[in-house]
Each structure stands twice: as C-alpha cells, then as structure tokens.
C-alpha cells in the first residue's frame, strides 16, 4: 500500500516538474484567487457582524439590560438597584432609563420614534452617544425642555431613510413630542449619528422631563437599566453575578436584542454560500480541464505505465495527487496573502462602510473549512477524467486512439 502511494506521488511530482510551467503557474494562481474569494467573503461577513455587535452594545443596550419583573411595567427603587449592580467589580456603569414610543412632529411632518428618558451623567458611562453628536451638544442633567434626535428622526446628515424623517430639523428648532396623549414642545439641543439605524431612529430627553409627561415624577421608576461591563467580560458571567446579588428582575444580555442583526447575518450568509458554491464550481472546472488536457497529452505514457505493470488505481491516484498539489499550493499562497497581507492592511487602513470603519476578521477554522472544500472540489475534478481514461484498453492508449 505504501509502495503504491510512493509510486503515485512520484508520478504526480514528475508530471508537474516536467509539465508545462505556464499551465502550472496559471492553475495555482487561479486556485489561489478562488481560495481568497472563499475566505474573503467569510472574513467580510465576520467583520460586518462584529461591527453590528459593537454598535448595538456601544450605542443602545450596553452589555446587559435589567428589565421589570414579569407583568410589571416599571422597575421600582431604580437608584438602589443601580448601586447594587455597580457594586460588582466588572461593571463600568449603569443607566436607568424610561423607554416609550412617541410621535415627533416638526412643521407638517410627524414620525414615530423610540423615546428614552435618561440621566445624562449616567448615560455617558454606558453608551457613546456623547461622542456621536454631529450637531449641537449632548444633554446635561439640569436641562429642561430639551431633546436630542438621531439623524433618522431629524433628517439630513446622511440619514439612510431621509424621506421618512422630519425633513431636516436643525439644532435650535422646536419640535412637538406626543406620548400617551400628552404633547409638549422641546428645543432640539443636538443631533447624533451612531451609523446604526436602530439607534439613530430614537430621541433622548432627560428622565425628569419624561417622568413629568408620564405623571410619575419623584417615584424613582425605570423601565430598563443598561449595564456596561469591562472589556472582555462574558455577559453570561455578569448575568450570573447579578442573580447572585438577589436581583429578581429580568436580566438579558445584548445577544437577546440582536434578532434583526441575526436576520441580516443569515441573509449575508446565504449570499456567502452562493458565492462559495460558484467559486468551488470554477475550481472544479479548472482542475477538470487541466487534468483532462494533461491526460490526453500523456495517453501513450499512461499506456506504457500500464504495460510495465503499474496498476490503474495507482495511475488515477497520481492525477488526484497532482490536483491536490495544485490545490495545496493555492491554499497556502491564499492563506499567507490573507493572514499577512490583506487582513493586517485592513486593520491599519480600515474599510469605510455605512456602519463605520470595518476590518476583515480571518477565522482559522473557517479558512480550514474552505481549504477542505477546495481540496474536495479538486479531487472530484481530477478523478473523473483520470478514471475514465485509465479504463481504456492498453493498445488504444499506446496508439493514441
């Protein structure tokens, strides 16, 4: 068995070293490009998914969200609960929020938006909204009758759905906010963008203002407490630690709010699979043609090999090994280019996308999976022509029929 394998490898290596160098280089080059294409789309998807997750955590939910108990509308004694949560060493900050759906009106336009009532001094330790202001200023604790709008609400500033916004509200303008039948006027203090559509379709005012509109002043109520933890802290560990403090409210990690992101990810994953299938089909065709042409040009040589006693399966295996050597060279060159070329380049020079700056994320397990698929495609592409020709009669091969 080992002797047959050595013979097959010898025949394959001799075929490559003595074959047409131009065809060999072209084949390896094409397989390298195919492997890069297989891995590149996965790396892009991983990079986009990571960016989505960062935006959600940094501008909307924090790492963990504490919500009211089942069938309860509010968290009571929110300040005391915040202090209890902040006693954990991994907690960076907490923000007790009121969260409602309201209508924002400016001149003749009116749109619905998620409205948050926050303590600005707490919010800056949980989200990066203060740094996301593109016009005006962030809220401060003493503010009264002031509001900040996401660009999808205000319009302008590159809003993705500008036609469904208020049409270009600017800092200093007055808007009407209606929640639960109560309408109040607010001065626009600032406009922000996080580049995350869900966060940019919201409005923020001070918790005191929203308490007044809801008629719950001075009762220390909240509808959620967003919790920011230190980098690298597993969210499940934080949830376990919170439960150990005796917190009976619902505790959810940011992953549980990422349904829309998972839908986008699955859609992009479907596109990735289609692109991968096309790439593997191209690899199959390339290997099939190269091996077939190689076999046709070596009919007599194959006939002589059979005549001197080399078995048919050894000859077929030699062509399969030849295809695997081509694929192996393509995988190695493609991986080296991605690992030490393209990925580091995007880290130092991030790609600008609508979500912000994105870098490629190369997953070694994903790269290995794509390498295996490329090898399988190459094996199938080589077995078919090799087996078909090796079955021909000895005299037909020698006389080139």
Q: pLDDT per residue over 239-268, tens digit each?
A: 999 999 988 899 999 888 877 667 777 777
Q: Are residues 291 and 208 in the same domain?
A: no
Q: At what angle do helices 312-337 and 299-307 cross, to 10 degrees?
A: 130
> Is 254 a member of any domain?
no
What does the pLDDT read at residue 172?
Answer: 92
Q: Are residues 213 and 282 in the same domain?
A: no
Q: Are residues 98 and 157 in the same domain?
A: yes
> Is 257 a member of any domain?
no
- Give the contacts of 192 (CB within 8 A, at least 6 positions apart): 129, 132, 133, 134, 138, 148, 149, 150, 151, 200
Q: What does DSSP say about strands 182-192 and 250-253: parallel, antiparallel, or unpaired?
A: unpaired
Answer yes or no: are the C-beta atoms of 231 and 62 closer than 8 Å: no
Answer yes or no: are the C-beta atoms of 227 and 132 closer than 8 Å: no
Q: Are residues 97 and 242 in the same domain?
A: yes
At 369, list the tokens: 């999976």
> Is 238 a member of any domain?
yes
Q: Are residues 35 and 177 in the same domain?
A: no
Could you give the angle at the alpha carbon of 190 between the alpha carbons of 189 and 194, nearest 5°? Answer: 155
What does the pLDDT read at residue 179?
Answer: 93
Among candidates 205, 207, 208, 212, which has minimal Cα distance to 190?
205
Split into its structural domains, the chain has a count of 2
Q: Are residues 317 and 341 in the same domain?
A: yes
pTM: 0.73
At 359, list the tokens: 């870098």
pLDDT < 50 positions in the chain: 394-395, 397
| Distances from the Cα of 235 to the Cα of 57, 240, 251, 253, 256, angstroms | 11, 9, 10, 6, 11
Query: What b-and-e string marks burial along 335-362, b requiring 16 or more CB atoms within 10 Å of the CB?
Result: bebbeeebbeebeeeeeeeebeebbbbb
As a whole number of angstroms, the distance between CA 106 and CA 169 comes to: 8
Q: Are residues 45 and 135 in the same domain?
A: no
| Distances from the Cα of 19 to the Cα of 11, 114, 233, 290, 293, angstroms | 11, 68, 56, 11, 11
What does the pLDDT read at residue 299?
Answer: 58
Average of per-residue pLDDT values in the chain:
84
Range of the domain at 215: 69-248
Query: What stretches of 62-181 adopt beta strand conformation (E)?
Result: 64-67, 91-106, 109-118, 133-136, 146-150, 174-179
What does the pLDDT read at residue 190?
Answer: 95
Last residue of some domain: 182, 213, 248? Answer: 248
Q: Which residues pair with 118 in a beta bridge?
A: 206
At 66, list the tokens: 């504490």
Radius of gyration of the chain (CA): 31
As a whole number of angstroms, the distance between CA 203 and CA 150 comes to: 6
Q: Are residues 83 and 133 in the same domain?
A: yes
């Amino acid at each position: 068995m080992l002797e047959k394998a050595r013979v097959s490898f010898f025949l394959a290596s001799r075929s490559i070293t003595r074959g047409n160098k131009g065809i060999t280089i072209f084949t390896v080059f094409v397989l390298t490009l195919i492997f890069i294409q297989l891995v590149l789309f996965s790396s892009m998807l991983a990079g986009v998914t990571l960016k989505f997750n960062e935006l959600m955590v940094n501008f909307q939910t924090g790492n963990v969200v504490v919500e009211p108990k089942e069938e309860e509308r509010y968290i009571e004694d929110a300040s005391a609960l915040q202090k209890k949560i902040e006693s954990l060493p991994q907690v960076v900050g907490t923000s007790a929020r009121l969260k409602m759906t309201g209508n924002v009106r400016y001149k003749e336009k009116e749109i619905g938006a998620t409205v948050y009532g926050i303590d600005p001094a707490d919010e800056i330790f949980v989200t990066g909204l203060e740094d996301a202001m593109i016009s005006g200023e962030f809220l401060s604790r003493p503010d009264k009758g002031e509001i900040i709008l996401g660009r999808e609400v205000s319009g302008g500033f590159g809003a993705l759905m500008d036609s469904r916004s208020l049409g270009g509200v600017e800092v200093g303008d007055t808007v009407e906010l209606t929640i639960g039948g109560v309408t109040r006027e607010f001065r626009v203090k600032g406009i922000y963008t996080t580049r995350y559509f869900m966060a940019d379709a919201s409005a923020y005012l001070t918790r005191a203002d929203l308490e007044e509109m809801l008629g719950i002043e001075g009762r220390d109520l909240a509808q959620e407490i967003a919790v920011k933890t230190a980098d690298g802290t597993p969210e499940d560990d934080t949830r376990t630690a919170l439960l150990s403090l005796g917190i009976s409210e619902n505790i959810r990690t940011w992953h549980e709010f990422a349904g829309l992101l998972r839908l986008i990810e699955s859609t992009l994953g479907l596109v990735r699979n289609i692109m991968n299938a096309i790439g593997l089909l191209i690899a199959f065709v390339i290997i099939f043609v190269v091996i077939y042409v190689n076999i046709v040009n070596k009919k007599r040589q194959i006939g002589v090999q059979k005549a001197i006693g080399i078995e048919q399966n050894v000859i077929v295996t030699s062509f399969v090994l030849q295809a695997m050597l081509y694929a192996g060279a393509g995988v190695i060159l493609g991986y080296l280019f991605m690992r030490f070329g393209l990925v580091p380049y995007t880290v130092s020079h991030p790609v600008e996308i609508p979500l912000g700056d994105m870098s490629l994320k190369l997953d070694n397990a994903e790269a290995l999976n794509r390498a295996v698929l490329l090898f399988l495609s190459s094996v199938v592409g080589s077995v078919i022509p090799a087996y078909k020709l090796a079955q021909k009669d000895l005299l037909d091969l020698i006389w080139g029929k």
